[in-house]
A and B are shown apart, each in its own frame.
Chain A
Amino acid sequence: MIEVNGVTKRYGAKVAVDDLSFTVRPGAVTGFLGPNGAGKSTTMRMILGLDRPTSGDVLVNGRHYAEHAAPLREVGALLEAKAVHTGRSAYHHLLAMALTHGIPRRRVEEVIDLVGLREVARKRVGGFSLGMGQRLGVAAALLGDPATLILDEPVNGLDPEGVRWIRNLLRSLASEGRTVFVSSHLMSEMALTADHLIVVGRGKLIANASMAEFTAMMDASVRVRAREAEELRERLVGPGVTVELIAPDVLQVHGMDSSAIGLVACRHAIALDELTPVTASLEDAFMDMTKDAVEYREAS
Chain B
Amino acid sequence: MTAVASKPVAARTALPDSVRVTLPRVLRAEWSKFWSLRSSYFALGGMVLAMIVFGGLFALVTANQYPTMPPARQAAIDPAQVSLRGYAIAQLVIGVLGVLVVTGEYATGMIRSSIAAAPRRWPVLVGKAVIFAGITLVVTEIASFAAFFVGQAFLASQHLDVGLGADGVLRGVVGTGLYLTVVGLVGTGIGFVLRSTAGAVATLFGLLLVLPVLGEALPSDWGDKINPYLPSNAGQQVLVVHPDAAATLGPWAGFAVFCGYALLALLVGGYLLRRRDA
A binds B: yes
Residues of chain A at the chain B interface (Cβ within 8 Å): 45, 48-52, 65-66, 68-73, 77, 79, 81-89, 92-93, 95-97, 99-104, 106-107, 110, 114, 140, 142, 144-145, 169, 172-173, 175-176
State the 4 A-B residue pairs at the shortest beta-carbon distance, nearest first: A66-B119, A92-B36, A99-B29, A145-B11
Please indicate the chain A residues that have their CB under 8 angstroms from the CB of B28 in the complex: 99
B105: chain A residues within 8 A (beta carbon): 85
Contacts of B33 in A (CB 8 A): 85, 88, 92, 96
Chain B residues closer than 8 Å to A100, beta-carbon distance:
21, 25-26, 29, 117-118
Residues on B with beta carbons closer than 8 Å to the beta carbon of A45: 112, 277-278
* B13 near A106: Cβ-Cβ < 8 Å: yes
Q: Is B76 an interface residue (CB 8 A)?
A: no
Q: Would B29 and A71 count as touching, CB distance under 8 A?
A: no
Contact, CB under 8 Å: B113 / A140: yes
Distance (whole angstroms) from the CB of B24 to the closest CB of chain A: 9
The reply on B166 being an interface residue by CB < 8 A is no
In the complex, residue of chain A having the shortest beta-carbon distance to the beta carbon of B100:
A87
B109 to chain A, nearest CB (A): 4
Question: Does A73 contact B15, Cβ atoms closer than 8 Å?
Answer: yes
Number of A-B contacts (CB under 8 A): 136
Q: Judge if B158 is at the interface, Cβ distance under 8 Å.
A: no
Q: A45-B277, A50-B277, A84-B108 are in contact. Are A176 and B19 (CB under 8 A)?
A: no
B32 contacts A by Cβ under 8 Å: yes
Please name all residues of chain B whose beta carbon is closer than 8 Å to the beta carbon of A145 when the two chains form the complex.
10-11, 15
Say whether B9 contacts A172, CB under 8 Å. Answer: yes
For the A-B complex with A73-B19, A102-B25, A172-B8 known, give 17 more contacts whose Cβ atoms are closer than 8 Å: A50-B115, A50-B116, A70-B19, A71-B119, A73-B15, A81-B109, A85-B104, A87-B39, A88-B110, A96-B29, A100-B21, A101-B21, A102-B19, A107-B11, A144-B15, A145-B11, A172-B9
Given contacts A83-B113, A100-B21, contact A176 B37 (CB under 8 A): no
Q: How far is the CB of B102 from chain A (nearest CB, A)?
A: 12
Can you spell out 14 A-B residue pairs with CB atoms less than 8 angstroms apart? A49-B119, A50-B115, A50-B278, A66-B119, A71-B117, A71-B119, A73-B15, A85-B108, A85-B110, A87-B39, A92-B32, A95-B32, A101-B20, A103-B19
Beta-carbon nearest neighbor of B32 in chain A:
A96
- Residues of B contacting A173 in the complex (Cβ-Cβ under 8 angstroms): 9
B36 touches A84 (CB 8 A): no
Q: Return B105 CB to nearest CB of chain A, in Å.
A: 6
Q: How far is the CA of A144 from the CA of B22 in the complex (A)?
A: 15
B20 touches A69 (CB 8 A): yes
**Residues of A contacting B15 in the complex (Cβ-Cβ under 8 angstroms):** 73, 103-104, 107, 144-145
- B1-45: contact bitstring with A at CB < 8 Å (1 yes, 0 no)? 000100111111101101111100110111011001111000000
Query: Which A residue's beta carbon lies closest to that of B120?
Result: A66
Q: Is the CB of A70 within 8 A of B21?
A: yes
